[in-house]
Chains A and B, each alone.
Chain A
Amino acid sequence: AQSVTQPDIHITVSEGASLELRCNYSYGATPYLFWYVQSPGQGLQLLLKYFSGDTLVQGIKGFEAEFKRSQSSFNLRKPSVHWSDAAEYFCAVGAREYGNKLVFGAGTILRVKS
Chain B
Amino acid sequence: SAVISQKPSRDICQRGTSLTIQCQVDSQVTMMFWYRQQPGQSLTLIATANQGSEATYESGFVIDKFPISRPNLTFSTLTVSNMSPEDSSIYLCSVHNRTGAGELFFGEGSRLTVL
Contact = CB atoms under 8 A, between A and B. Distances in A.
A42 B108 contact: yes
A40 to B, nearest CB: 12
Contacts of A34: 103-104
B111 to A, nearest CB: 8
Interface of B: 31, 33, 41-45, 48, 92, 96, 100-109
Given A90-B42, A90-B43, A43 B108 contact: yes
Nearest to B45: A101
A49 B103 contact: yes
Given A32-B102, A43-B109, A99-B48, A104 B33 contact: no
Contacts of B33: 101-102
Interface of A: 32, 34, 42-44, 46, 49, 51, 90, 92, 94, 96, 99-107
B48 A104 contact: no
Contacts of A43: 92, 106-109
A71 to B, nearest CB: 22
B4 to A, nearest CB: 8
A34, A43, A92: most-surrounded residue (chain B CB, <10 A)? A43
Nearest to A45: B106
A50 to B, nearest CB: 10
A102 B108 contact: no
B41 A106 contact: yes
Given A42-B108, A43-B106, A44-B106, A100 B100 contact: yes
A104 B43 CA distance: 6
A96 B102 CA distance: 8
B104 A102 contact: yes
